[in-house]
Amino acid sequence: MRTEAAALSLLLSIGAASPLAAQELRIGLAIEPTSLDPHFNLMIPDEAIARHFYDSLVLQDDQQRMVPGLAISWRSLDSTTWEFRLRPNVHFINGDTFGAEDVVASLKRAPNVPNSLGGYALYTKGIAEVELVDPLTVRIHTRAPDPILPDELSIVSIVSRRCVNATTEAFDGGAAAIGTGPFRLVHWIKGQEIVMERNDGYWGGKAEWQRVTDRVITADAARVAALYAGDVDVIDTVPSSVLGEIEARPGLAIARVPSSRAIYLHLDSFRERSPFVTDGEGQPLDPNPLRDGRVRAALSLAIDRIGLVRQILNGAGTPAAQILPQTGFGASPRLKPDPFDPTAARRLLAEAGYPQGFRISLHASSTFSAVDQKVAVAIGGMLERIGIATDVVALPDPIYRSRLRNYEFSLTLLGWHSETAEASSWLRAIVATPDPAHALGYANRGRYSNPALDDLLGEAATAMNEEARRKLLERASELAIEDHAVIPLYFADGIWAFRDDLSYRPRIDLFTLAQNVTGKR
């Protein structure tokens, strides 16, 4: 055993020396982005890869605090006008000088990408006009007061004005991948790897690595094995079940952080008859029991959040009371996770007219995260104990997402990370009444609707006074959770593993960034 450990230590030290000496870094990614188009899909893998090639006007640090990016400063001139002073002497990877025209082009493109899977209109919908004051100044005029426009623009990557009409395919293939970020794209072989090279002219200083290869290794066991074998230097989404094993291995280290990604259940509270809810004999139920707040509350009380974190996550998470951590702006400090109380749950079901329960299907992704299916099965067992016979159906992620967007399910397991670390992000996306014209409710997969909540969100959206906006968002958060518009479960920890001659700065948004990896001096 000692000989094996010594051999492994030697193997790791030899393997580590080569990439460091050659300034090469190899990362094992659990999830491949859907596209390299930075305006295509508002999901963690896509946003994270975009941060290698592109910058935004305002950037987010590792704790999701707003810091200067391509804008060195910003100020509100009046209730509907923001002025951004742009960073001078910034160049795109093709040599073009960055300026105000690129901002205008990017804000025009972001909400209008054909077949986009997600979300960017939510953060640009309020913009009425982008005024080009001079090459390094833009003024953004909004249709109504927009107190968090700088936060919202931290989500929007700035691309070259040359690419305003470029297709998503042109970004994926590299022809339109013209950014100001710390790296430049070499190639993307879908399902295999994304290769990038350092942008030596990056305004923020050169990254440590001359060449980076992101290898797509979706299976947890294969990803961990690749790290053990020295085939990669860093892996993300480390399964909590192997934490102790990795920490005991010579030559390896762990970085871990409580994340802002919430795992939750979304319920079909819209349809009179929901497609995957039946009585005990398999006959459709009318009315849909999920429309009853007592039933939704019963489902929440049936779930042992502490047990989920301890047994499924091996402690690598925190039970959730809402979809934003309590440190976030507008999260309510008064909300606590629902207790595990099956007796109360059964009582509520009986009060709602379902003393014998009913049957439901819980749908989840089988490929986005290895833990999702385990969590879904555990929840299914908990619901069974209060009389709700639960069929757990795990689907490949592309199929799952496609059907999800078509509102085909009754009960779904989902994850959400708040792009702006403010409650308005999840509230407007997940529980606001769906309104495509105003980009509201774009991720409201249960089509929940509450006019009182919508009114609070509308008021908060234009409240320039920070304290007034905070109180409005706290009340909106409470209203959504008390009505069980969604059922929060837990916040998952972000975990990365790497060779111990490296250092990794973890991010609460779970972005895996090559620029956050450094060699120990």
Domain ranges of the chain: 51-164, 261-492
Which pLDDT belongs to residue 118? 66
Q: Which fold has domain 261-492?
A: Dipeptide-binding Protein; domain 3 (3.10.105)
Which pLDDT belongs to residue 17? 40
CATH ID of 51-164, from 3.40.50.10070, 3.90.76.10, 3.30.420.40, 3.40.228.10: 3.90.76.10
**Beta strand 81-86 with 137-142: parallel, antiparallel or unpaired?**
antiparallel
Distance CA 449, CA 58 (A): 32
Coil, helix or strand at residue 33: coil
Distance CA 166, CA 171 (A): 7
State the maximum Cα–Cα separation within the chain, in Å, rounded to a whole number: 70
**Beta strand 358-365 with 277-278: parallel, antiparallel or unpaired?**
antiparallel
Which pLDDT belongs to residue 54? 98
pLDDT in tens, the chain (521 residues): 333 333 333 333 333 444 444 599 999 999 999 999 999 998 889 999 999 999 999 999 998 999 999 999 999 999 999 999 999 999 999 999 999 999 999 999 999 998 887 668 878 888 999 999 999 999 999 999 999 999 999 999 999 999 999 999 999 999 999 999 999 999 999 999 999 999 999 999 999 999 999 999 999 999 999 999 999 999 999 998 899 999 999 999 999 999 999 999 999 999 999 999 999 888 989 899 999 999 999 999 999 999 999 999 999 999 999 999 988 999 999 999 999 999 999 999 999 999 999 999 999 998 777 788 899 999 999 999 999 999 999 999 889 989 999 999 999 999 998 888 899 989 999 999 999 888 799 899 999 999 999 999 999 989 999 999 999 999 999 999 999 999 999 999 999 999 999 999 999 999 999 999 999 76
Distance CA 106, CA 354 (A): 52
Helix pair 466-482, 451-461: axis angle to 10 deg: 160
**Beta strand 358-365 with 127-134: parallel, antiparallel or unpaired?**
unpaired
> What is the four-CA torsion angle of 65, 68, 74, 79, rounded to 10 degrees?
-30
Residue 494 bridge partners (DSSP): 257
Closest CA to 150 of 260, 87, 73: 73
Number of residues that this document lists for the chain = 521
Contacts of residue 106, defined as CB under 8 A and 6 or more positions apart, other chains included, come to 39, 156, 157, 158, 159, 164
Residue 134 CB-density burial (10 A; 0-12 exposed, 13-18 middle, 19+ buried): exposed
Distance CA 488, CA 330 (A): 16
Which tokens go with 30?
A: 């659990």
Q: Is the pTM of this model over 0.85?
A: no
How crowded is the C-beta side of 103, counted as CA atoms within 13 Å?
Answer: 30
Which pLDDT belongs to residue 312? 92
Q: What is the 3-state secondary structure (H, E, C) of 385-422?
A: CCCEEEEEEEECHHHHHHHHHCCCCCEEEEEEECCCCE
Asked if 318 and 256 count as a contact pair (C-beta separation under 8 A), the reply is no
Domain pair 51-164 / 261-492, same fold: no
Contacts of residue 439, defined as CB under 8 A and 6 or more positions apart, other chains included, come to 111, 121, 122, 125, 428
Distance CA 206, CA 198 (A): 7
Rg, the chain, Cα only: 24
How crowded is the C-beta side of 213, counted as CA atoms within 13 Å?
Answer: 15
Closest CA to 510 of 35, 44, 27: 44
Phi-psi group of 107: left, alpha or beta (phi > 0 → left; psi -120 to 50 → alpha; rest → beta): alpha
